[in-house]
Amino acid sequence: MATSLKHLSPLGRTSPHLRRIGQLAVVPALQQAQQWFSRERSWINEQHLQLCRIAAPTFFEGQRAAWFRLQMETLGWFARLDRAGNVLTTSSDDETPRPFVISAHLDTVFAPGRPEEVRLGAAGSLNGPGVSDNGSGLTALLALARVLKGERELQSLADSVTLVANVGEEGEGNLSGMRYLCRPSSQLAGISAFLVLDGPSTDHITAQALASRRFEVSFSGPGGHSWNDSGTPNPVHAIGRVIANFTESAEARISGERRGRCSYNFGVVDGGSSVNSIPAMARAKLDLRSEASGMLDELTSLLSSAVERSLESENRNARGPRLTAKIRDLGSRPGGKLPDGSPLLQAIQAVDAFLHIRSRVDCASTDANVPLSLGLPAVSIGAGGRGGGAHTSDEWYQPDGRDLGLRRILLVLASLADSANSAKPMDGSGQA
């Protein structure tokens, strides 16, 4: 994609990477595509509203996936569902591996009970479950699909990418959609880079995968009447002891470590049926995360010890049947890191410098965990705009600034494709 150097921004003169982004940005077809993001913001916002009104809690993304597939086909793309439920979209109906994947997850932590629960707010904001995480990422895929098909000169760019709306990113989905996409196959062998769109914020480049493990701890017993059966071991009391014991041990271990940040969170605690009944069952779900290699194993060991101590304490003076305990593994997310000198990271940082986006490289848990753990180039970035309240029922999204995020995505793709085809660079019309 060559063009005259006289059009370069001053930023393009400071380094070869920035200079090349400056050249790409003023290619007529890419210029028109960037302008389209601002000109068609009403269409983009309407797509965002429609898709978020289709409930897609983890494990139940089918209805939204069907809608998304139809929209892609309407825009002239070829879309299909794989066995995991992911929507895979390509510019033509063939099995040729595309070098780049741009993805966004379909599922949400909370889901609207009725479509009207996702609504327009003041100043054009969207309010309701999933509008930011990850309605913004899915909407970016739709906008990118339309603009790539709308500009004939960008056909070769469209041919280089697979757009993926994947399932199972949130919670106990355990990255199932991305795991299936990254299973050993000839398709995977042809992929050079993964660009994961997750949330709106453009101030980060997630190039390190935050490893995590999730567990469910449960206690079961005979239950009984709170007075008549007093002394019967109580599963809720046992869960309380586990939380207290684990928290004390984990805080002591974490405070003494200098191997990177880690966290723990008991996100679900339930059990029992009435205030005057000894519960027959209680459970808690725990999320562990760490940047440090090996720390998750140490925290897991602390959890096992806390459960054993709690079980022993609750059963010590038991009358009749005793409690039993179980730790169930709910899933794990692998860690990994993109090398500092990665061409993918360099491309994004050059685009950010060109667009005056102040971004930082960070560590987080996203769909990018899977390819990063396999040694494949991958990052997660925001799709533009502003949002908040993620993973709550009060989620919100403000589309102001969305066009900057979309320009960023387009120029990163163009930079990657240009580098891959450097032996046969495109001319000013966008053709090889």
Domain ranges of the chain: 5-209+335-420, 211-333
Q: If residue 312 lies in a helix (H) or strand (E), which one and from where to where?
A: helix 295-315
Q: What is the pLDDT of residue 71?
A: 98
Q: Report d(CA 113, CA 122) in Å as an integer.
A: 22
Q: Model confidence over 229-253: pLDDT tens digits?
A: 999 999 999 999 999 999 999 998 8
Q: What is the pLDDT of residue 12?
A: 39
Query: What count of Cα atoms within 13 Å lies in the side-chain half-sphere of residue 279?
Result: 17
Q: With 80 as the cut, is the pLDDT of residue 429 above it?
A: no
Q: With 70 as the cut, is the pLDDT of residue 334 above it?
A: yes
Q: Confidence band (pLDDT; 50, 70, 90) for 175?
A: very high
Q: Confidence band (pLDDT; 50, 70, 90) for 11?
A: very low
Q: In the CATH hierarchy, which fold is given to the domain comprising 211-333?
A: Alpha-Beta Plaits (3.30.70)
* Average pLDDT score over residue span 301-306: 98
Q: Model confidence over 216-226: pLDDT tens digits?
A: 999 999 999 99
In Å, how far are 60, 131, 286, 385, 408 from 107, measured between CA atoms?
8, 11, 21, 20, 24
Q: With 80 as the cut, is the pLDDT of residue 166 above it?
A: yes
Q: What is the pLDDT of residue 257?
A: 62
Q: Model confidence over 28-57: pLDDT tens digits?
A: 999 999 999 999 999 999 999 999 999 999
Token pair listed for 73: 């086909």
Token pair listed for 202: 């453009």
Q: What is the pLDDT of residue 8?
A: 30
In Å, how far are 147, 249, 307, 369, 418 from 383, measured between CA atoms?
15, 39, 42, 18, 22
Q: Regarding beta strands 204-209 and 277-278, do their DSSP bridges make them parallel or antiparallel, or are they unpaired?
A: unpaired
Give buried/exposed letters for 58-81 (b at 16+ CB in 10 A, else e). beebeebbebbbebbeebebebee
Token pair listed for 7: 């059009």
In Å, how far are 69, 216, 310, 429 from 178, measured between CA atoms?
17, 23, 37, 35
Percent of the chain with pLDDT over 70: 94
Tell me which DSSP letter residue 5 carries: G
Q: Report d(CA 25, CA 279) in Å as an integer.
A: 64
Q: With 60 as the cut, is the pLDDT of residue 424 above it?
A: no
Q: Confidence band (pLDDT; 50, 70, 90) for 10?
A: very low
Between 117-121, 156-160, 176-180, 185-189, the lowest mean confidence (pLDDT) is in 185-189
Token pair listed for 27: 């290619």
Q: Model confidence over 354-363: pLDDT tens digits?
A: 999 999 999 9
Q: Report d(CA 354, CA 18) in Å as an integer.
A: 6
Q: Confidence band (pLDDT; 50, 70, 90) for 431?
A: very low
Cis previous bond, 245, omega within 30:
no
Query: What count of Cα atoms within 13 Å lies in the side-chain half-sphere of residue 42?
Result: 1
336 versus 187: which is more confidently predicted? 336
Token pair listed for 54: 């289709």
Q: What is the homologous superfamily of the domain 5-209+335-420 according to CATH?
A: Zn peptidases (3.40.630.10)
Q: With 90 as the cut, is the pLDDT of residue 263 above it?
A: yes
Q: Is the four-CA dihedral 334, 52, 101, 201 of positive or negative sign?
A: negative
Q: Model confidence over 283-303: pLDDT tens digits?
A: 999 999 999 878 999 999 999
pTM of the model: 0.89
Give the angle subtended at the CA of 103 by the CAs of 99 and 107, to the nearest 5°.
Answer: 155
